[in-house]
Structure 1
């Protein structure tokens, strides 16, 4: 697993945890985020609402195409199903 360069703000009570324990917790958090941020999991958890065509779709191909776009067209929304 690659260590991604990301900025995380993690608040711990330093009096209760040693630096090694904090590093361990941050490592576990990185593993969790690595699994959650996979494209397959994102596609499963979202649907596309297209108000231009008045459709709501959760088809794998359609959601994946929208997730790959850097900027969404007007009135096309990504909705988290959770």
Structure 2
């Protein structure tokens, strides 16, 4: 398993958790986050409002094209569907 380069803040109720149990929890969290942090899941959870052309973009190819740009055009917004 590759080690992920991220900072995680994990709060536990039991202050006496041993190091082995904590490592196992971190491995499980990294596995879950690796599964969910994909372009596919990002495109399912977001949409783009293009107020210049009065469009809402929801297709994966359209979103990927906009996400890959360094800067967005004015009045183009990436919004979470929640």
TM > 0.5: yes
Q: TM-score, normalised by structure 1?
A: 0.83
Structure 1: 5+ residue stretches without partners: none
Paired position in structure 1 for 2:60: 60
Structure 2: 5+ residue stretches without partners: none
CA RMSD between the two structures: 1.7
SS at match of 1:41: helix
**In structure 2, how many angstroms separate the alpha carbons of the residues matched to 1:78 and 1:6?**
24
**In structure 2, how many angstroms separate the alpha carbons of the residues matched to 1:15 and 1:69?**
44
Aligned residues: 82
Matches within 5 A, 1:16-55: 16-55=16-55
- Which has the higher mean CA deviation after the structures are superposed, 59-68 or 12-21? 12-21
Structure 1 contact 12–22 (Cα < 8 Å) conserved: no
**In structure 1, how many angstroms separate the alpha carbons of the residues matched to 2:12 and 2:72?**
37
Moved over 6 A (4+): none
Paired position in structure 2 for 1:10: 10
**2:69 corresponds to 1:69:** yes
